Amino acid sequence: MSLTNTKRKALSISAAVAAIGLLAGCGSASAPAAPAADAGPVTIDVWGWDAESTQHVVDAFNASHDKIKVNYVLQASNTATQTNFRNVMESKKDIPCWIPGIAPISTVLVNGWAQDITKYIEPIKDTYSKGAQAAAQVDGKYYGFPAGPSATFMMANKAVYEKYGLAVPKTWEDFVTTGKELKTHGVTVINLAGEDPSTLLQMSQQAGANWFAIDGDKWKVNLQDDATMKAVDIIQKLVDNDLVAHQTYKDRPALYSYFDSGQLATVPLAWWSMTGYQTNFKASLGQWQAVDVPQFKDAKQFVSSGFADPGFVPVGCEHPAAAVEYINWTSSSKDAIEAGRNKKTGSVGVPTNLADVSAYTADVVPDKIFGAQPAAEVGAVISKAQNAAVGKFERGPNYDAWFPELQDQWGKAMAKQITLKQAMANVQAFIAKDLDSKGIKYEVSK
Amino acid sequence: MTLTSPPSKVLDPNNDTRKLELKALRLRKRQLKTMDNDDPSEISGKRGRSSWIVLIGLVLFALYSVGPAWWLIVSATKSKEDLYTTDAMWFANFKLFDNLASLFTYQDGIFGTWLWNSLLYAFASSIGHTVVSMAAGYGLAMYAFRGKGTTMGFIIGSFLIPGALLTIPSYLLFVQIGMYDTIWAMIIPAFFSPFAVYLSKVYAEGAVPSELLEAARIDGAGEYRIFFQISSRLMTTAGATIFLLHFVGSWNGFFGPLVYLRGADKWPVMLGLYSWLQRGTDSTVDLTGLVITGSLVATIPMVILMIAMQRYWRSGVAMGSLK
């Protein structure tokens, strides 16, 4: 339960942008050349739910900066942050100056939560990857801080591929062919959980789809364009030929034991989930190999998928410059990244938004799961994926409403009750109805 | 010696004791016989069958109740490598002490702080909650005053409002009066509970005789003294019930602290465990094992409290003021 129960004004995008413009009218029309601290020492609250490294980073920041003092407020979880943020926006007291990503940036904007911070980001944007920059913008303006996705790569069970004399597929089209081969030996090529359509979103993103776009004062919605259909087509073939497993993420022990059993050939993943797999695998430890995510056959260049919800500076924060200066420092300064190093394991996370992460990826590779494949090589796979991340995948103003519907429809498609193509049409119809009910202007592009 | 006894027999004390002994033996035998389940008589046969059914039902129910607790104990002794990959209901490598060590050291040992916070909030709020509810319930039961019916109506009516509905208005109120993000937000609002007031009113009506109050008044006791020295002692059972119910509720409280407190250092243990559990799913660290060990540790105070407070119900039932 949260303040969403109180009737929120649904804003069209232009009204939202205008409203933000008014609310965030920061007096000075001339943008500073670089993010400078506001005059005099200021104290800002930053929120987050990371309990391991952020406090150390904040301490390091406070020790090395005298114009800005940062106070870190630890929240219980992503969900708790959303609840408490809605409340604080209602009470208008102690509004924080920084919130990590809690929703797609367009949703944040439509809710009237995020300030336009373009003038502070412009001078520093090149520190960050193109994908990270794209993810933080709505309609060409920065409403969030550049945020990189944890990009997708794959783990292939080398032992399985070698046993049947197969090569790990490099294109999605080959993925289907290889899947058919593996099926004859009773092995599935990939796991598609019935409750998790993220593979579809990620493949659509790779193919170049954008389900939502902003066109003047209205949204353009299209879940059935050619790019999306490329992804739909591949997944449909995998499902029709029974080449996939449907292990749910809700039952972790069963999921891990299936992944570990040699009955599954390939697992898409992001850098942070490697450790979890190593902890819970037994039989297959050392048999896995990190490989690039497959591409579509006619792809012009190598791209990887992954979504990022950028953090933002809330409307009502009086020191946006200070907030951006702090976040920029934590994201890019060597001292900050050092301060975040885990005292026990000695590793830092991958700073996913940087333009080049190759210095950090080898450190996060666990020691057993990849067997003979050296950490540097796995790291190279990860940085290749990070550097090629598309970053942007507009999820529209009502993601909270349509994503559960997509889950339902995806589940039906996985159970072969409908085709994935029908599912997409159904979700699009649902989105149209929902936007109507919220009074948000849109058009469905053909 | 009875009239029916044969005249030739002279009373012999030794013989008499022998008779008594025999009688006792026979009685004992009969007792044993009736206790025996293999009694061939039809009635006790039926009773035996139905008692077996009841017994089996109770055993099954006990297993059902103990199962989750058993799982918790077993899981708390496993390393994170064994947690998902070994038999859920039986031990693997015994790592309980390692788990306890990391439980109390992870995140700079904040778990200890959370436990302490939980104890403080639960005790302070339950004591206030009990005193206020008992006094209010007693007042409603024992005195006639203008507006008594209306007051009672409001109390009963407020049962209908779900607590969760009050969270946001309470939050806004606490922000305005400066109670937000202080321990008082966890303690003071808990003093007032219509249900507990109603419970103690009903109990007071049954347990506190008005003759006793009159007698006390004739002896010159004031109303406060009567309440604290006489009536409250007659209401121990209700007080203990109210205290325990609220203590458990406060100990397991989650949504209140989530909304009314800001920083992790004021969290109670349940909210802290939740934050770890949430962090386990989408980060490089899997804290599920710590959450399980933490849950086991966090149930211990509840168990101690239950055992310690049992006597109140036992004596409470047998207690009468007019012997």
Q: Which residue has the tokens 């019916």?
A: B149
Measure the CA–CA gap between A398 and A6, rounded to whole angstroms.
17
pLDDT tens profile A155-209: 999 999 999 999 999 999 999 999 999 999 999 999 999 999 999 999 999 999 9
Is residue B105 less than 8 Å (CB to CB) from chain A? no
Asked if A192 and A245 touch (Cβ cutoff 8 Å), the reply is: yes
pLDDT < 70: residue spans in chain B:
1-21, 23-25, 27-46, 280-285, 314-323
pLDDT, tens digit, for every residue of B292-302? Answer: 999 999 999 99
B81–A52 C-beta distance less than 8 A = no
pLDDT at residue number B280: 64
Cα torsion angle, A405, A410, A413, A415, sign: negative
Residue in chain B closest to A273 (alpha carbons) equals B284
Cβ-defined contact of B107 to A80 (cutoff 8 Å): no
Cross-chain residue pair B275–A80, CB shorter than 8 Å: yes
Q: Which residue of B has its CA nearest to A90?
A: B172
CB contact residues (below 8 A), chain A span 29-68, against chain B: 49-52
- Which DSSP symbol is given to B287? -
DSSP alpha helix (H) spans, A299-439: 320-332, 334-339, 358-361, 375-387, 399-414, 420-438
- Taking the C-alpha atoms of residue A330 and residue A348, their distance in angstroms, rounded to an integer, is 13
Tell me, yes or no, if A375 comes closer than 8 A to chain B by beta carbon: no
Predicted confidence at residue B27, as pLDDT, reads 66
Buried/exposed code over B173-182 (b: 16+ C-beta within 10 A; e: otherwise): ebbeeebbbe
**What residues of A are in contact with residue B180 (Cβ under 8 Å)?**
93
Give me the residues paired with residue A288 across strands: A157
Closest partner residue to B85 (CB to CB) among A77, A276, A282 is A282
pLDDT at A285: 93
A1 contacts B267? CB cut-off 8 A: no
Nearest CA in chain A to B260: A84
Which alpha helices (DSSP H) does A92-224 contain, by range? Answer: 105-110, 118-121, 130-135, 158-163, 172-184, 198-207
pTM for the full predicted model: 0.79
Residue given tokens 């050939």 in the structure block = A265
Write out the two tokens for A62: 């406070």
Interface test with A, best of B78, B84, B177, B278 (most A CBs within 10 A): B84
In chain A, which residues have pLDDT < 70? 1-40, 446
Partner A contacted by B2 (CB < 8 A): no
Is the CB of B85 inside 8 Å of chain A's CB atoms?
yes
Buried residues in B47-56 as b, exposed as e (16+ CB within 10 A)? eeeeeeeeee
**pLDDT in the model for residue A21:** 38
What confidence score (pLDDT) does residue B31 get? 61
| Residue type, position A72, single letter | Y
Flag whether residue A78 sits within 8 Å of chain B, measured between CB atoms.
yes
Q: Which amino acid is at B314?
A: R
Of B88, B168, B283, the CB nearest to A272: B283
Nearest to B263 among A50, A73, A87 (CB): A73
pLDDT of residue B146: 94
Residue B319 near chain A (CB below 8 Å): no
- Pseudo-torsion of CA B9, B15, B16, B22, nearest 10°? -120
**From A73, A94, A272, residue closest to B284, measured CB to CB:** A272
**Residue A378 pLDDT:** 96
Q: Which of A77, A78, A87 sits opposite B259 (nearest CB)?
A: A87
